[in-house]
A and B are shown apart, each in its own frame.
Chain A
Amino acid sequence: MSELSINGLRKSYGATEVLHGLDLEVSGNEFVVFVGPSGCGKSTFLRSIAGLETISGGSMTIDGADISGLEPDRRGVAMVFQNYALYPHMTVAQNMGFALRMAHVPKAEIARKVREVAEILQLEPYLDRRPMDLSGGQRQRVAIGRAIVREPKVFLFDEPLSNLDADLRAHMRLEIIKLHRHQKGISIYVTHDQVEAMTMADKIVVMRDGNIEQVGSPLDLYNEPVNRFVAGFLGTPRMNFLDATSTGVANWRLGLKVGGMTLSPPIRPDADALPEAGAPLSLGVRPDGWRIVAEGDGLAGRVVHAEQLGRETVVFIELEHGPQVAMIQPGQYRLHSDDAIWLAPAPDELHLFDASDAALPVARIPRTNSHN
């Protein structure tokens, strides 16, 4: 059981601050994923934890010990780099044992540990090869092996799968998760790919512009995004956003006008700030939150294109009042371009955001979350 605690972490390059006071607590054997668009600071955050960047403020502790001023090799962390960063002139075994050699660990012990890790990663046949003679996936495993050998408390992964093709990526995702379970430590994984985040994480940290937007389990974030950015970032196709206007509250229901349609979802019992009549809102509906309804019942639109995937159908629809939306329907629908269609959001699939993009937990009834 390790514990990583970060308080008010800041990082500036000259006069430009790129990380604006980040707080994060990670404990136990959590697999944490930092996700966000490029330039959001997620890599800088990771590298600050690694000690590759000097921080300009705040503190970091692992198991209570302050690590902020320590050299990378003294922090109890290990890192897997995006381009593997294997030493080209060393064999696989030498690559994996290098950190121990630098720490003056006796040769026999290095050899023993390297063999042990190679066994876990099925790298034994390659121990005497050089990185140049390995495939992408094998290099990736060596890079991971090099980290494991050091028995760190925190594993850091910097977009480690971005150089692999789709099949191998899916495979390595699973391998990394399995290793993480086996190793018992904290893993922090940086990616810009929200699918990786959703599939791997125990805890996702969504970042934007050097700030943490939201921290939580994948389903928490999917179901209860705190703002429009998080809502739009997780899930493919993205959540659809439509302009809506409040018509006020009546009978524990909130009146909404969207395009030509009126909605009156029930208000959540714990809702506090309720929008006044006339307030401009943004209505978010996930692609799988649409229902096809009878003619004249919801929003009118025309099919732009339907992707027939067999198990499900992804339909892109241009609504009559302007916006284009995506809809996923399970099963097969033989829709064609220009077919007329009527849609309405399912009542428990409504996300509302106010003018400042913050989520209004007004109407949506939370799904029961078996994760907790």
Chain B
Amino acid sequence: MAQPPTHHRRDTISALTLLAPAMILFGAFILLPLMQTFAWSLYRYEVFGGVKEFVGLDNFAKLAGDEVFGIALINNLKFAVLSVVLQVGMGLVLAALLDRGVRRFKVVYRTIIFAPILVSTAAVGLLWSLILNPSIGPVDDWLGLIGLSAPRNGLLGEPAFAIYGVIFVGAWQYTGFMMVILLAGMQNVPEETYEAARMDGCKGLRAFFHITLPTIRNVIITCCLLTVIGAFKVFDLVYVLTNGGPGNATEVLASYIFRNAFEFGQIGYANALSVVFLAIAFVFGLIQFRMIRR
């Protein structure tokens, strides 16, 4: 539609005014830092504000041989896969039970199951670190009751087990969140569809598998994505529960970036790690966007 140019200009000015706050924040806190991350990943940079020495791709070369980086990456992968199984799997079971299973106390169940997401992950980490603490927590006693001897430093002090403990605590917190999303998806399936299914002789769990799951497919995919993205971003749980230990057994990418930048004084190397992290997160982020916009 052809409009007089003055109109157009006025609209452009209004639009820019409305967009300004968001654009300034994006520029200053996302885009500019992003450039710096890329740039600094090419430097040896050890003290904030200190000397930067250009080293090209050395930091990335170092990555390849860094054993801890490998541990972190594998831990993130374990986190992602097991979280999807635990959170989305259990979330589906719970949502199915609340959607077309039990008929009473649904709101009570939903409220309680959802609640952990509202406790900060740091507090969740703290509380589980205390419960799993061998001297004051009950879990070691329980293990004793069923004839298992708990490791001396507690379950989280056991290198082979610690990461699974962290993953379990993550699932404890986030499963309710997944359940709420999945339940909302299930409640959007029209009643008529289920009636048609009944007419077609499909009911009970068959309807769950033949009708419900395929219909909410996109919601399930979104949940998996949210979980995977969350698994790659995990930091607070690890920081509070194990601080990456014992040794480096529970190191994840985020904690390793943090440690390099703020504990080891390896700022350049931390930025190289960030670039790798970014590449992973960016891909999942874009897929997630595709899902929201459908």
A87 with B215: CB separation less than 8 A: yes
Known: A85-B190, A85-B192, A85-B193. A72 touches B215 (CB 8 A): no
Which of A74, A81, A103 is B196 in contact with, Cβ under 8 Å?
A: A81
B201 with A79: CB separation less than 8 A: no
Decide if A33 is an interface residue (CB 8 Å cutoff): no
Chain A 95-134, CB within 8 Å of chain B: the 1/0 string?
A: 0001100110000000000000000000000000000000
B200 with A88: CB separation less than 8 A: no
Which of A81, A88, A146 is B215 in contact with, Cβ under 8 Å?
A: A88
Which of B190, B197, B203 is A83 in contact with, Cβ under 8 Å?
A: B190
Least CB distance from B245 to A in Å reads 46
Complex Cα spacing A78 to B192, Å: 14
A87 with B196: CB separation less than 8 A: yes
Decide if B199 is an interface residue (CB 8 Å cutoff): yes
Decide if A319 is an interface residue (CB 8 Å cutoff): no
B201 with A99: CB separation less than 8 A: yes
B202 with A102: CB separation less than 8 A: yes
A71 with B196: CB separation less than 8 A: no
Decide if B8 is an interface residue (CB 8 Å cutoff): no
Decide if A311 is an interface residue (CB 8 Å cutoff): no
Decide if A171 is an interface residue (CB 8 Å cutoff): no
Decide if B211 is an interface residue (CB 8 Å cutoff): yes
Decide if A50 is an interface residue (CB 8 Å cutoff): yes
Decide if A211 is an interface residue (CB 8 Å cutoff): no
Complex Cα spacing A277 to B108, Å: 69
Decide if A261 is an interface residue (CB 8 Å cutoff): no
Residues of B within 8 A of A88 (CB): 215
Complex Cα spacing A99 to B215, Å: 17
Residues of A within 8 A of B198 (CB): 51-52, 71-73
Residues of A within 8 A of B199 (CB): 50-52, 72-73, 77-79, 99
Complex Cα spacing A52 to B199, Å: 8
A81 with B217: CB separation less than 8 A: no
B206 with A52: CB separation less than 8 A: no
A85 with B215: CB separation less than 8 A: no
Residues of A within 8 A of B217 (CB): 89
Complex Cα spacing A106 to B198, Å: 20
Residues of A within 8 A of B197 (CB): 87, 98
Write 11 A-B pairs (CB below 8 A) sorted by A numbering: A73-B198, A74-B201, A78-B199, A81-B192, A81-B195, A85-B196, A89-B215, A98-B197, A99-B201, A102-B201, A102-B210
